[in-house]
Amino acid sequence: MWLYLATVLAGLFLLRRWHRERQTVPGLSEKFVLITGCDSGFGNLLARQLEARGLRVLAACLTQTGAERLRAATSPRLQTVLLDVTSSQSIAATAAWVRECVGDRGLWGLVNNAGIAVPTAPNEWLTKDDFVKVLDVNLVGLIEVTLSLLPLVKRARGRVVNVASVMGRISFFGGGYCISKFGVEAFSDSLRIEMRNFGVKVSVIEPGYFKTLITNMENMENNFISIWEKVPKETRASYGENYLKEFLVAVREMQKKCNPNLRLVTDCMEHALTSCFPRTRYSAGWDAKLLYIPLSYLPSALTDIVLSWSYPKPAQKV
């Protein structure tokens, strides 16, 4: 009896959720969305995806080449702007440009997608500047862009969509990437609570490993070798030369397992922007849903055991 009742209640809950999530915001063709990091990857695909759906897309690219290619592949509904999220001057100029574009309507959507993954290496091998390089793009830049455009988003009672990662829940490699994504999660949580009374909804995208990371991983190999060469001899001896070889093998294996279907991520972004009832968090990819997010809820001792299996073994162990 109780099992039957629980099954019925669960079915009704899922049916209600399915119905709510299918309801879309009216007047999408008049709404403006700014996306950062549109040269390639998720940002580029999302810009083309939203433009095809009829939204007015403001695509922020780091390079002129990236901007030109995106404009050539889309309609006049998509406009581009050059943006370096590590430059306050560039952010201010972009905010002024967006203000002119949207006018009194405000900015319906802000998608903070720009990010980098390297330098990445064991924390002991890195310098403060190595951490700062990643944090400036992935976290500090994201925060400054958001603060600069938040008044326009409030005017439209719109959406902020921040791209974090499953590595924002569970960290198993060194460097600034995981730290930055933990920071994105924290900033998004506080912003979501603050913006509730203004009608602004804040969502976080938590992708697993996708093929958009391959370029970064190739850079990671070269970057890892250059960092290794700068590590003090005593530290290198404690890890051993074989550690470097095993790490590079692990990186190559990770490349092979990256999911090539970027739509799994951009569909989450699109839903967060167009649904009347967007989710607080979106996990994209089966590795995120079935491995990393469940691991994040386990006791740390168990999580450490699972993750340490994939770690190279240093030459000197206690």
From residue 165, how far is each of 136, 149, 234, 306 by CA, in Å?
17, 23, 34, 19
| Cβ–Cβ < 8 Å for 41, 116 | no
Distance CA(166)–CA(185), nearest Å, equals 10
Is-contact 177 214, C-beta < 8 A?
A: no
Strands 109-112 and 159-163: parallel
Q: Which residues contact 180 (CB under 8 A, 6 or more apart)?
A: 115, 134, 135, 137, 138, 139
- E strands in 108-177: 109-112, 159-163
Q: Kindly report the CA angle at 39 between 118 and 217, in degrees rounded to 5?
A: 25
* Distance separating alpha carbons of residues 169 and 172, to the nearest angstrom: 10
Taking the CA atoms of 6, 8, 9 and 14 in sequence, report the sign of the dihedral they define.
positive
- Phi first, then psi, for residue 54 (nearest 5°) are 105, 0
Residue 243: active-site member: no
Give the integer Cα–Cα distance in Å for 299 and 96.
47
Helices and strands in the chain, H and E counts: 14, 7
- Under DSSP, is residue 39 helix (H, G, I), strand (E, B) or coil? coil
Residue type, 23: Q
List the catalytic residue out of 177, 209, 239, 292.
Answer: 177
Cα angle 58, 211, 278; round to 5: 50
Residues with active-site annotation? 177
